[in-house]
Amino acid sequence: MANLHGNTDRHTSEDMPLDINQAQSSDSILETRSLTRDFGQMRAVDNVNLDVKAGEVFGLLGPNGAGKSTTIKMLTTLLPPSTGSAAIAGLDVVRQASLIRRVIGYVPQALSADGSLTGYENLLIFSKLYDIPRKHREPRIWDVLEFMGLQDAAHRLVRQYSGGMIRRLEVAQAMLHQPQVLFLDEPTVGLDPLARSYVWALVKQLRAEYGTTIILTTHFLEEADSLCDRVAIMQAGKVVVTGIPSELKASLNRENTTLDDVFIHYTGDQITTGGTNYREVSRTRRTARRLG
Ligand SMILES: Nc1ncnc2c1ncn2[C@@H]1O[C@H](COP(=O)(O)OP(=O)(O)OP(=O)(O)O)[C@@H](O)[C@H]1O
C-alpha cells in the first residue's frame, strides 16, 4: 500500500487504491470484493473493494461517468455484477437479492414519488411493497412523515410539493421498513441551498436516531465533507482513494485544503467536468427540473 502522507504527486489509476484508515472487514455491514460491471466493451465499474462499517455515513465521489451509480445499482440488486461479489449484512447481492431488499432502502436520482398522489398515498403504496403488516402501516407512515417534517402536507398532492419536500418524501419512502442501510444517489441534486441543508440535517438525524448506515453519492464536495465519516473517490470505474475527509485533506500537506483539492489531486478533474455525455447531462437536468 502506498504511503499517502507527504506524497503530493498525482495519483494514477494504475496505483493500488489507498485506504488511509483501513476498515476491518469484521465490523463491516457492506463489503465488495473485485466488484466489476461491463456494458459491452466498456468497463463501468472495475474491481471495486469497499468496506463500510455499520452506522457510517459513506460517500462515493467521482466525476461524471466514474461508476458511482452503477456501483449503487449493483449494491441495491438492480443490476447484476459482471464479476466479483458484494454482501450487505452478510447477504449476497446476487444469491440473496430478495432478502437484501428487506434490509436496504434506496433513493434513486430519478423521481420515485408519484405526483398525482398525495404524500400519504405514496407512502401507503411503499408500505405494501415492503410487506409491512396492515396494522403497522398507518402508525409507521405517520412516524416517517413526522420525522421528515411532512405531516402537515400528508394529504396534499405531491405535484404541489417543493423540490425539498419531494426529496424528504422519497427518503421517507425508503425508510418505511426501517432499513439497516440507506442508499442516496445524489440526494440534493436540483435543490436550493436551504432545501439542501435540510436534507443534510435529516441524514445526520437518521444516523443519530436510528443508527442507519448511509451510502450516498454526491457532486457537492462540501456536502461530502460535512456529512461523511469516510469517502471513496472513484475515477474511470476504479476506487482511487478511500479515507476520512479530514485525513485526506491533511495528507496533501497544504494550507487550507478542501475536499475539492483532494478530489482534483486524485482525479486530476474538476467534479463538474470530464466524461459527461448527453445522457448523463439530460438525466441530471431532468431530475433537477422535476424537483425544482
Ligand atoms: N445502462 C448502461 N448502458 C451502457 N453504458 C452505461 C449504462 N449505465 C451507465 N453506463 C456508462 O457507465 C459509465 C459509468 O456510469 P455511472 O452512471 O455509473 O457514472 P456516475 O459516476 O454515476 O456518473 P454521474 O455522476 O454522471 O451520475 C458511464 O460511462 C456511463 O455512460
Are 215 and 69 in contact, with CB atoms under 8 Å apart?
A: no
Q: Is the pLDDT of residue 146 over 80?
A: yes
Ligand 1 pocket: which of 37, 38, 46, 68 to mutate (most atoms within 8 A of CB): 68
Bridge partners of 91? 88
Mean pLDDT, to the nearest integer, of 207-234? 93
Backbone angles phi, psi at 189, to 5 degrees: -65, 135
3-class SS shares of the chain: helix, strand, coil, % to 5? 40, 25, 35
Quick: pLDDT tens for 41-55: 999 999 999 999 999
Q: What pTM did the predictor assign?
A: 0.84
Bridge partners of 53? 28
pLDDT of residue 268: 84
Would you say the CB of residue 64 lies under 6 angstroms from ligand 1?
Answer: yes
Quick: pLDDT tens for 84-114: 999 999 999 999 999 999 999 999 988 889 9
For the chain, the structural domain boundaries read 18-291
Look at 5-9, 138-142, 213-217, 275-279 and tell me which has the smallest mean pLDDT: 5-9
Residue nearest to atom 24 of ligand 1 (CA): 64
User: Could you tell me the three cell numbers for 73?
Assistant: 445499482
Q: Residue 59 Cα, ligand 1 centroid: separation in angstroms?
A: 17
CATH class of the domain whose range is 18-291: alpha beta
3-class SS of residue 74: helix
Residue nearest to atom 11 of ligand 1 (CA): 44
Mean pLDDT, to the nearest integer, of 208-219? 92
Are 265 and 252 in contact, with CB atoms under 8 Å apart?
A: yes
Would you say the CB of residue 70 lies under 6 angstroms from ligand 1?
Answer: yes
Would you say the CB of residue 67 lies under 6 angstroms from ligand 1?
Answer: yes
Contacts of residue 53, Cβ cutoff 8 Å, sequence gap at least 6: 23, 27, 28, 29, 213
pLDDT of residue 110: 85
Tell which residue, 258, 171, 233, 173, has the closest CA to residue 207. 171
Quick: pLDDT tens for 147-185: 889 999 999 999 999 988 999 999 999 999 989 999 999
ipTM rounded to 2 decimals? 0.97
Q: Is the pLDDT of residue 283 over 90?
A: no
Half-sphere exposure (CA, 13 Å, Cβ side) for 130?
26
Would you say the CB of residue 105 lies under 6 angstroms from ligand 1?
Answer: no
